[in-house]
Amino acid sequence: MNTLAIEGGLKTVREALPHFQNAAGRTFDETEEGLVLEALRSGCLSKNGGSMVKRLEREFAAMVELPFAIACSSGTAAVHLCVAALDLEPGDEVIVPPITDIGSILPVLWQNAIPVFSDVEPRTMTLDPVDVERRLTKRTRAIIAVHLAGQMCDMDSLRSLADARGLTLIEDCSQAYWAEHNGRLAGTIGDISCFSLQQSKHITCGEGGLVVTRNRRLFQRAALFSDKAWPRDIHTLGAARFLFLSQNYRMSELQGAVALGQIRKVKDVVGRRRHAAELLDRLLADVPMVNPPYVSPKTKHSYWLYFLRVKDARGAALTQQFGEALVAEGVPAWVRYIVDPLYRSPLFTKPATYGTSGYPFSEWGTQIFEPGLCPNAERALDEVIAIHWNENLKDSHVHQIAAAISAVASRYSPAANSI
């Protein structure tokens, strides 16, 4: 058996792979350069006064065939726009998944509402509609359906549940540009939906976010929220009036210029990511101990990450070892994605935000943030290695990744260890 790189052997992947943090792994070209220059030469770099962000909003709305889009300063801001649009009462509850970026959840707390964690379906690691139903109370107002790593939630069931119970369905598509559910694009099934344009995403302008909706009322409140709740219909500064507590989440014209170039490429980016992922799926067919990401038959995955699942009775410790060995072989990955479900973060277990008050949980919280709250999520996280996926991976790169996984799997397989 060959010596693994982590044990002092040679790396399986010896060339630098395209990655979201380098130019080889991004799709910037003369399109973005031209638009940035155009924005600079216009002399106005603010959305209020410029045209780039407005063009981005119009073009993105048209691409998803919805009437309204709002660009903003980050994905977290985009989630915040969606939540703020609902005008919640303090203590209202919003269902959230335990496996996502914290940016999916922080805005609920900013609005003095309570995030209620619901467990996930073990294979997709996205919200399990049956568990969501169990966690509804008379204070529940909304569900944030996070499409994880490119795999969409079971949107038929979540949509039916939201409709039956009068809840707002928010889609967080930050990790799932151009994924599909029964032929419908991510972001077009919920009442209001959001995307992140942060550096690691399918498309990026460094930091940024987008919100889309067909609901005029939600659009109007979200748009106001992003701009100090300042209706811009009055043009004298002295006559300005500010309608409710809000933020300045405006996107700049420079971000807008890059984002405008990027949205035009998203379909192609997703197509190339799918091609590379499906090749790796095939190459792993006979490799022991590992499973490729599960793709629900109703969906088309868009592969922000490639969730490799390590199936082994030795559990989390083995996944950790496997992941570290894989990274040493030259495969960029987050070993175990997030290590713990988000409810295990100090933000929830030791509230330290509003002095010592424990607010808002002290006032309205019902969940106890202990292990066992969402057992499927805990078990699934013990099995996951998140390989950083990229549209510029060539077939030869994918073959090298497969060879690295295979080498590590042979080294750690129960058969190898019983010799």
Interacting residues toward ligand PLP by CB under 6 A: 74-76, 79, 100-101, 103-104, 146, 172, 174-175, 196, 198, 209
Q: Which is nearer to ligand PLP, 103 or 351 (CB)?
A: 103
| Pairwise CA distance, residues 285 & 288, whole Å | 9
Q: Which is nearer to ligand PLP, 337 or 348 (CB)?
A: 337
| Pairwise CA distance, residues 245 & 172, whole Å | 23
Strands 209-213 and 68-72: antiparallel
- At 13, the amino acid letter reads V
Q: Which is nearer to ligand PLP, 106 or 403 (CB)?
A: 106
Residue 306 sits at the vertex; the CA angle it makes with 300 and 309, to the nearest 5 degrees, is 110
Q: Which is nearer to ligand PLP, 266 or 402 (CB)?
A: 266
Shortest CB 368 distance to ligand PLP, Å: 25
CA quadruple 407, 303, 168, 352: dihedral positive or negative? positive
68, 258, 364 from 28: Cα distances, Å: 26, 8, 47
Shortest CB 277 distance to ligand PLP, Å: 18
Residue with tokens 């748009």: 223
CB 127 within 8 A of CB 143: yes
Q: Which is nearer to ligand PLP, 246 or 400 (CB)?
A: 246
Phi first, then psi: give them for residue 397, nearest 5 degrees: -65, -45
Shortest CB 200 distance to ligand PLP, Å: 7
Shortest CB 198 distance to ligand PLP, Å: 3
CB 93 within 8 A of CB 141: yes
CA quadruple 98, 103, 104, 105: dihedral positive or negative? positive
Q: Which is nearer to ligand PLP, 321 or 345 (CB)?
A: 345
Shortest CB 298 distance to ligand PLP, Å: 20
Q: Which is nearer to ligand PLP, 76 or 262 (CB)?
A: 76
Shortest CB 138 distance to ligand PLP, Å: 27
Shortest CB 101 distance to ligand PLP, Å: 3
- H or E element, residue 54: helix 52-63
Q: Which residue is nearest to ligand PLP (CB)?
A: 75
